[in-house]
Structure 1
Amino acid sequence: MDDLKRDAESLLTKTSLSDGVDRRDFLKVALGSGFAAAAMPVMAQNVIKTDTAGLTAGTVTLTVDGQTVPVYRAQPEGKTNLPVVLVISEIFGVHEHIADVARRFAKLGYLALAPDLFVRQGDPQKSASIADLQRDIISKTPDTQVMADLDALVAWAKANGGNPDKIAITGFCWGGRVTWMYAAHNPSIKAGVAWYGRLVGTSNANTPKNPIDIAATLNVPVLGLYGEKDTGITQDSVKAMQAMLAKGPNKSTFVVYPNSGHAFHADYRPSYVEADAKDGWGRMIAWFRQNGVA
């Protein structure tokens, strides 16, 4: 619940996409009127707005075990053999901020793919409360399903203009945890960047392991970007993760921002810390390039 409470600090208000994509194009820009009414005041729109000039952007679909999985795709127009980055959302799904992040990557020459990993469990924007979202969607989204969807997404990328030798992953909060877990699941990934993703937690049938459990055997280098003032993801858990990583061959590392709490990259929320978000973005791109994803 800590992830959910932190991510419930604010919600993106309803707004149209800058590239004119219809709301039905699965971008979830709100979580329903009841949910939004209970939320703290938020910024009306992203601080950063990225257009689609020179890009191909919109929704593509995968079919995984008979299920259609929508994916927001952004890439340089007419280009192939592109480095690939998988963009994993917060608990709120693929809303305009996540789409904008994908377009930012595309402007840098990446094929960026943001999948709707909650499609089987439900639509986050229809949840009436955080408790409902946790009970009905998040807690029912198993790691095995997420890993299978991302495997299918990697295969799609390889077949649709992505360089199979240059694939990275990044994610935010819930997606930050997924970044650690997928880096362990798929050793062909070249690099990961986890933004304030949970590192420890209770194991259950849907989430049998947590990042700390796979740290000692992790081979893919992951950069963790965390806030020292994050009251849910404590510095004790970061230190414990660092200790477990040190037991293995991995070159993963952390950057902890003293002036930031949770969700400091989310430029549509009051938690946004511009200086640290920009520094983290620069470090992420440098990390990908350092590990051959550029």
Structure 2
Amino acid sequence: MQDATRIPADDGLPAAPDHRSEGLDGLITPPLSRRGFVMTSLMTGLTLATTRVEAQVIHTDTAGIEAGEVRIPAGDGPMPGYRAMPDGQGPFPVILVIEEIFGVHDYIKDICRRLAKAGYCAVAPELYARQGDLSRMTDVKEIVRDVISKTPDDQWIADLDATVVWAGSASKGDLGRLGVMGWCRGGRGVWLYAAHRRDLKAAVAWYGPVTGERTAIQPRTAGDVAAEINAPLLALYGAADTGIPVASVEEARDKAKAAGKSVELVVFPDAPHGFHADYRPSYRKEAAEAGWSRALGFLTANGVG
């Protein structure tokens, strides 16, 4: 494997543009609070917080690509992340990869490598690095209570913006071809980021919740911002997902369409939540492969390719 370039905090790159107020009135709660990073590097292996079926795990090699851990300049220091991109001069279209609640572990890293094989510069920043060390956490309820619920939306949105700046200036990224893809909680993030980022070309949300509790630091749901998305969005959901009723996603889609926005909803029969997560018992190979094919085609059709 080739080592990815590591970028120090004081590399002199320009600060991320302040897109936080664009298109998300009511979502951002200034001032943006920062604190030190708890995680200074990514975890090794798969998450410890859920049942794993390692015999079915997909592993994508690094032939023809450059892949590895990187440091992304953020407002308060270097943020750990994973970047994969094709060998060559570029520039390459950029895909922001938004993790599940379990951190940037081997599954998320492999997704970046799969995208690199498809011609993309894929970057997955560790968006929960300030809130807790996900490499050591084994209890899903603890992760939700102590990490997920305490991560302000304005914080991770600003971190994604910083990642975009870094991808364009240090990673051969073509920011004129910018997309975002996320899974589970990251799927929620896709809806919110699509409502925030005006230069986004395409967004793909894998079974992200569209409803949920509103708090002072997480004041709006994905459904709340559906009418404000700035890019076509592909929504990939499972009919057997007991936590996300298809009707709630249909409502968000219809809200977006009523506002003149583009949302394509694909529901896979009998697929549960997490059907793309090949390391978990929820994995459904046929639905995962079909969803991946639809996602890549959607990106290309909308100018990210």
Call closer, same or farther: CA 1:19–1:257 in 2, change over 3 Å.
Answer: farther
C-alpha distance in 2, partners of 1:229/1:20?
40
Pick from 42, 48, 52: which aligns with 1:26?
42
Alignment partner of 1:51 is 2:47? no
C-alpha distance in 1, partners of 2:3/2:88?
20
Alignment partner of 1:185 is 2:187? no
Mapping of residues 88-107 of structure 1, within 5 Å: 88-107=98-117
In the other structure, the counterpart of 2:21 is none
Report the Cα offset of residue 124 of structure 1. Answer: 1.3
C-alpha distance in 2, partners of 1:20/1:29?
18
Structure 1: 5+ residue stretches without partners:
1-17
Report the Cα offset of residue 265 of structure 1. Answer: 0.4
Q: Is residue 98–residue 125 contact of structure 2 (8 Å, CA) maintained in 1?
A: yes
**CA deviation vs aligned residue, 1:191-217 (integer Å, no higher than 9, x gap):** 000000010112111211111111112
Pick from 150, 158, 175: which aligns with 1:140?
150
Call closer, same or farther: CA 1:133–1:19 in 2, change over 3 Å.
Answer: farther
C-alpha distance in 2, partners of 1:114/1:216?
26
C-alpha distance in 2, partners of 1:52/1:155?
25
**CA deviation vs aligned residue, 1:148-191 (integer Å, no higher than 9, x gap):** 00000011111121111101000000110001111111011100
Alignment partner of 1:281 is 2:292? yes
Q: Is residue 217–residue 249 contact of structure 1 (8 Å, CA) maintained in 2?
A: no
C-alpha distance in 2, partners of 1:104/1:286?
14
Report the Cα offset of residue 233 of structure 1. Answer: 0.4
Pick from 248, 272, 275: which aligns with 1:261?
272
Greater displacement, 88-97 / 128-137: 128-137
Mapping of residues 1-294 of structure 1, within 5 Å: 25-32=41-48, 35=49, 39-40=50-51, 42-44=52-54, 47-160=57-170, 161-294=172-305
**CA deviation vs aligned residue, 1:16-48 (integer Å, no higher than 9, x gap):** xx8899xx951353455xx5xxx54x3125532
Report the Cα offset of residue 54 of structure 1. Answer: 1.5
In the other structure, the counterpart of 2:9 is none
Q: Which amino acid aligns with 1:273?
A: R
TM-score between both structures, scaled by the size of structure 1: 0.87
Report the Cα offset of residue 110 of structure 1. Answer: 0.6
Q: Which 4+ residue blocks in structure 1 deviate beyond 6 angstroms?
A: 18-21
Report the Cα offset of residue 74 of structure 1. Answer: 0.5
Call closer, same or farther: CA 1:138–1:218 in 2, change over 3 Å.
Answer: same
Equivalent pairs, count? 269
Report the Cα offset of residue 278 of structure 1. Answer: 0.5
Report the Cα offset of residue 249 of structure 1. Answer: 1.5
| 3-state SS, counterpart of residue 259 of structure 1 | coil
**CA deviation vs aligned residue, 1:222-268 (integer Å, no higher than 9, x gap):** 10000000010012211211221121121111000012010000111
Q: Alignment RMSD, CA only? A: 1.8
Q: Is residue 83–residue 112 contact of structure 2 (8 Å, CA) maintained in 1?
A: yes
Call closer, same or farther: CA 1:51–1:79 in 2, change over 3 Å.
Answer: same
Call closer, same or farther: CA 1:130–1:62 in 2, change over 3 Å.
Answer: same
Structure 2: 5+ residue stretches without partners:
5-39
